[in-house]
Amino acid sequence: MSRNAPSASHLTAADLPNLWLPYTQMQTAPFPVEAVSTSGSRITLADGRELVDGVAAWWTACHGYSHPHIHEALIRQAERMPHVMFGGMVHEPAIRLAARLAAMLPGDLERVFFTDSGSVAMEVAIKMAVQYHINRGTEGRTKILSFRGGYHGDTLGMMSICDPEEGMHSLFAGVLPEQVLADLPVDADSMARLEALLAERGDSIAAMVTEPLVQGAGGMLFHAPDVLRRLRELCDRHGILLILDEIFTGFGRTGTMFACEQAGIVPDIVALSKALTGGTMALAATVARRGVFEAFLSDSAGQALMHGPTFMANPLACAVANASLDLFESEPRLEQVAAISAQLAQELEPCRTLPGVKDVRVLGAIGVVELETLDNPDALRRAFVERGVWIRPFRNIVYLTPAFTITPEDLRRLTTTIVDVLREGA
């Protein structure tokens, strides 16, 4: 560790000066490693070690780290205009990015509201949904229906629609607004239960929210595209808006640019973030269909969407997001995802026969080894670092979400390390 930070193995994260780390019990968590530089799919640590990154900075660095095209765009924009307020004023990077997102997304998803994080993008989505019904004169539609296994962020509104059983937010049960929780309709029984719930409470529900194809932080839980088609039909039948949280799944991670494409559906609202800027800047977008936007048009200022983050549509972030979209257009990202998917499926398969392994599954550039139990994820993480890879297990999941530009050799190092470490620990 540099800058006088202690590095002795007996120290914990609580000994780190000043910082409070995310998702960390500071008293018991081990002292973290320190990164000093990144390039491609590699992270260099302060002690000189180099790690192959299997997580791509929480799934964001889809083009790898330090892509020159993105860095050049960042520098050009920084020299011209790093930031300007977005109230009563617009700028070319945001105008161009909004137009490109509207052109890429299916159907008439065409109105883009920029924020600076995925959780806030989802907050805006549910705010849009509730006010949509209010503006149209529909009374009583104030609830949000979400699904077990779902995760949508850590702000108060988002905690209210996350699975309360997943552990992170159960302490706040008495604070959070009461919403509606259901099982995803993955079979006839769960579909019947959801239909019964909507028959009873559908008139109180403003929107239905789900992560398409993959419930990420809930345990990398996969479901078939047909589930999304069922949800779209149910929302249409009951006058409910469908919100898709594509913060993790958007921009190629599941094998198509957006996961909803695999179901052939158009949500009413979609939230985007993470890979939007290629992992370089904080930026998110909430994109609404034409009819949703039109419900906010009025001679009354009270029917406007009253929301506006200070760094909304930051020009630096919009510039690098445009550069990221350039790379999707000029480089073979979806072909790379398909190759990664095939390699993950082949090379993680040996884990299936190991003791303690519950399941092995792959979708796009997501590879998952689900364990029966994982009592000490910190110890497993340290074992991975000792072998020169950065893999961050959580819950009972060991997973890979690499950059789409990772080499087959680096990907093989990740998969081989997982197999070897789990075999040795069996």
Question: Can you name the residues that pair with 122 across neighbouring β-strands?
Answer: none
What letter does residue 1 receive in the DSSP assignment? -
Cα separations in angstroms, 407 against 40, 331, 360 = 9, 15, 22
CA angle centred on 95, ends 90 and 101, rounded to 5°? 140
Its sign, for the CA torsion 63, 66, 67, 69, is positive
Cβ atoms of residues 163 and 181 within 8 Å: yes
Active site residues: 23, 151, 245, 274
Cβ atoms of residues 209 and 234 within 8 Å: no
Strand order in the sheet with 50-53: 35-39, 42-45, 50-53, 389-390
Cα separations in angstroms, 384 against 244, 388, 390, 414 = 34, 7, 6, 9
Cα separation, 261 vs 212, whole angstroms: 10
Structure tokens at 97: 């990015």
Cβ atoms of residues 271 and 236 within 8 Å: no
Sort strands 143-147 and 109-115 into parallel, antiparallel or unpaired: unpaired
Burial environment of residue 187 by CB neighbours within 10 A (0 to 12, 13 to 18, 19 or more): exposed
For the chain, what's the residue count? 426
